[in-house]
Structure 1
């Protein structure tokens, strides 16, 4: 794993922490945080939109780039919203183990495969 990919993964995990803290006890309750249209599954667009909220909270100057001073701990290389969302899309497809284009509660709460 390259240093860049490791950094993106770390950033993703740091941005996921608020969502995880608000999640209730069950995978179904966690799924509902992402499921904007209430159909019981999470599309790529819903996944990216929900997790992009963390990026937007950190982007204090609203320029679409998380600069080093905006990153948790003040460390790391700047990352654009597009780069972050591209990484989220890759993660979505790793989580979508049955390749149906959606995440169910089980897929959403399991760690992505290599």
Structure 2
């Protein structure tokens, strides 16, 4: 394997591990559904300007779409998590977390 290719692969592995670290609150090297939902909900919370638990049209990017509740948003995140969990062990490793969605 050429040196540049090995260096690229090492950087990708380090990047995956760093990304996993953003989600992995308990440091066990994997991401649970609760950790995934908690991390991914941060964006919702930042956009919910009035803090009512619903993103109204005027709080959505581009002020387009339908209002969405935090519960509905998190239910969607749980579905995404299970699609990413390709080995169905209830956790995401760094590879599953960074893999393109199916």
Asked if residue 68 in structure 1 is aligned to residue 57 in structure 2, the reply is yes
* Rounded Cα–Cα distance in structure 2 between residues aligned with 1:110 and 1:44: 16
1:85 paired residue number: 74
**Runs ≥4 in structure 1, deviation > 6 angstroms?**
none
- Structure 2: tracts of 5 or more residues without a match: 1-13
Q: Secondary structure at the match of 1:45?
A: helix
Residue pairs, 1:11-50, within 5 angstroms? 26-50=15-39
**C-alpha RMSD of the superposition:** 0.8
Asked if residue 104 in structure 1 is aligned to residue 93 in structure 2, the reply is yes
TM-superposed CA distance for 1:112, in Å, is 2.0
* Rounded Cα–Cα distance in structure 2 between residues aligned with 1:68 and 1:83: 15
TM-superposed CA distance for 1:111, in Å, is 1.8
* Rounded Cα–Cα distance in structure 2 between residues aligned with 1:44 and 1:60: 26
- Structure 1: tracts of 5 or more residues without a match: 1-24
Match of 1:54 among 25, 32, 43: 43
Which TM-score applies when normalising by structure 2? 0.85
TM-superposed CA distance for 1:70, in Å, is 0.2
Which has the greater radius of gyration?
2
1:21 paired residue number: none
Matched length: 89
Which TM-score applies when normalising by structure 1? 0.76
